[in-house]
Amino acid sequence: MRLLITGGSGFFGSRIGEAYQGICPGHDEMDIIDRESVEEAFEKIKPDIVVHCAAASDVGWCGRNPEESWKMNVEGTENIARACGKRGVKLISCSSDQVYFGNGQKEAHKETEELFPANEYGRQKLEAERRSFLYCKDSIILRLSWMYDTEKRMEKEHGNFMLAFMEAVKEGKAMSYPVHDYRGITDVRLAVDNLEKVFELPAGIYNYGSENNYSSYETVYRLLEKSGLQHGQLSKNEEAFAADPRNIRMDMGKLREHGIEFPDTLNRLAEVFIQSFFL
């Protein structure tokens, strides 16, 4: 199996490339917003499966730079999907839990919901999903949650929940987390390990990651509690998302039907933190 990974220098893509010995072309080898460059790379690499991780994933930056981020997140995805579709290459395209922010759903989200993304990034990822299926009908879309690791591989990696939490605990720093924010947080190592089963999934959209029933504040409060630590350095952020509470936690029932399991957010966080921090 010849595996091509876009965004191979990023948080998720770099770990996939290492685990599966995939081909991770640099920007000078394949520029995803240049269709000709993508076609040339596919002709050279001749992949069997593509995991499309490349994206402009900073939500704030996408909001400030909608045209530039659209080229990466939407047009780049279209170019990859076109190249896969015309060659019969399996496409696994990484989307985001941000597509769920804005539809007012209070429960954990399912893949069948009607969506009204509230931010530019969510709208772009939803359109990228549509174009994936338009040009490569056998696409597998993974709606990813926020992911963390116990190590930082590159300086430009996005915010890492676990590393920030461990640093705050170690140095006694104040921590403040939103009470109006609900989302799953996933160990990236499990996300990488489970890809082997993803390769065998039928085409479709799948929520992918750990479920979570608690707000960000409640999650950290209970994590400290399960770890035998005090809560003195933790405070509530009651301003973030107060006007429009964010619920982007996902229901993983469809994924479980296909034999792919993730532990829930809190229990996995506690397991990883205790092993990494105390042992």
Per the prediction, the chain carries an average pLDDT of 96
Q: 230-258, pLDDT tens digit by residue?
A: 999 999 999 999 998 999 999 999 999 99
Q: 3-54, pLDDT tens digit by residue?
A: 999 999 999 999 999 999 999 999 999 999 999 999 999 999 999 999 999 9
Q: What does the alpha-carbon distance between residue 223 and residue 158 come to, in Å, rounded to a whole number?
A: 22
CATH number for region 3-146+187-208: 3.40.50.720
pLDDT given for residue 246 in this prediction:
95
Q: What does the alpha-carbon distance between residue 45 and residue 58 come to, in Å, rounded to a whole number?
A: 29
The vertex-114 CA angle with 53 and 89, nearest 5°, equals: 35
Domain 150-185+211-277 -> CATH class: alpha beta
Q: 63-117, pLDDT tens digit by residue?
A: 999 999 999 999 999 999 999 999 999 999 999 999 999 988 889 999 999 999 9
Nearest alpha carbon to residue 191 among 57, 12, 18 = 12
List the chain domain ranges. 3-146+187-208, 150-185+211-277
- Contact assessment for residue 127 and residue 135, using Cβ atoms and an 8 Å cutoff: no
Give the distance, in angstroms, between the CA of residue 10 and the centroid of all CA atoms in the same chain. Answer: 11
Q: What does the alpha-carbon distance between residue 111 and residue 148 come to, in Å, rounded to a whole number?
A: 23
CA 110 vs CA 115, 116, 252, 274: distances in Å: 10, 14, 8, 31
